[in-house]
Amino acid sequence: MPIRIPDELPAYRFLTEENVFVMSDNRALTQNIRPLNILILNLMPKKIETENQFLRLLSNTPLQLNIKLMRLVTHESKNTPIEHLDNFYCSFDEIKDKNFDGLIVTGAPLGKVAFSEVSYWHEIEKIIHWSKDHVTSTLFVCWAVQAALNILYGLPKSTLIDKLSGVYQHNITEAHGLLTRGFDDSFWAPHSRYAAFEVETLEKLAGIDIFAKSEEAGAYLFASKDKRQVFVTGHPEYDVHVLSDEYHRDIAAQLNPNLPVNYFPDNDSSKAPKAIWRSHAYLLFANWLNYYVYQITPYDLSVMNPTLD
């Protein structure tokens, strides 16, 4: 089954050219099935690029997905045309009385910024608290993980001295975990963050299961036992070029960045990198949609009280 997005959204043409199964609103109206309603809170600066990345991963499922994009009203995007935001994005006020099967909160370039200094922190708090009663399962990515752990569990911000950048090897820690079903025992995933996620700290949180970790990058994938919150500390959605773009951007800004680990062939930044994380990324999102959303969400979303295993 495809993801359902507006015909005019740039991702429709972009993904169609990649032979990704997407469905226009017009065609979807002819199908008599109950799609999953997925809300994406896009915090990344390059919103169109981020849309393409997440929609590509969400497309690899037999379920039909209704996608809705949300932006913050307390932050002005400088890297996305206002016409695009006005045409394809909603505000929190427009959807706060509705329920959703799933919510994805993306990362944001705020690794060194204290929570108290984030201009839209109060809006993020409001949305995350709202999601507990209005969303079956919420998936937090990178910076959003740190924000959610602070808001939901009171965990203070922990920041690395040097940026963690590169593609790291991870090991699954739960032999029969639903989120890692079908994973190899070890797999690769990209990271680009200053946030620190120490396994020992997370193991002390009540109600949290850790499913994958890395010796170098720390905890990668963990979730609440009731399946309502899922945390991914890396960027499985990243296209192959993104870490390269970030590195050369920081070089141009004279920030003296470290070379991304396990990324450029022969550690030569002039050589084109290859993606070695795509298969795990597709499987992770398919598992989340199936086991943490579809299997427990109510058919009638007006009754947001799913039965959890």
Write out the catalytic residue numbers: 142, 235, 237
DSSP string, 192-243: EEEE---HHHHHTSTTEEEEEEETTTEEEEEEETTSSEEEE-S-TT--TTHH
- For 71-134, strand residue ranges (E) read 89-90, 100-105
Report the distance separating Cα 22 and Cα 3, nearest Å: 5
**Token duo for residue 280:** 């795990």
**Token duo for residue 303:** 């009754």
Report the distance separating Cα 50 and Cα 109, nearest Å: 13
Q: Which of 7, 53, 45 has its CA nearest to residue 235?
A: 53
Helix (H, G, I), strand (E, B) or coil at 151: helix
Report the distance separating Cα 86 and Cα 73, nearest Å: 11
Helix (H, G, I), strand (E, B) or coil at 281: helix
Q: Distances from the Cα of 192 to the Cαs of 104, 117, 167, 237, 251, in angstroms?
A: 18, 21, 9, 12, 15
Which residue ranges make up the annotated binding site for substrate?
Answer: 163, 192, 249
Contacts of 262 (CB under 8 A, 6+ apart): 166, 167, 168, 169, 188
Q: Which of 79, 86, 101 has its CA nearest to residue 34?
A: 101
Residue position matching structure tokens 């944001």: 108
Beta bridge partners of 36: 65
Q: Is the separation of the CB atoms in 304 and 298 below 8 Å?
A: yes
Report the distance separating Cα 300 and Cα 282, nearest Å: 28
Report the distance separating Cα 268 and Cα 275, nearest Å: 16
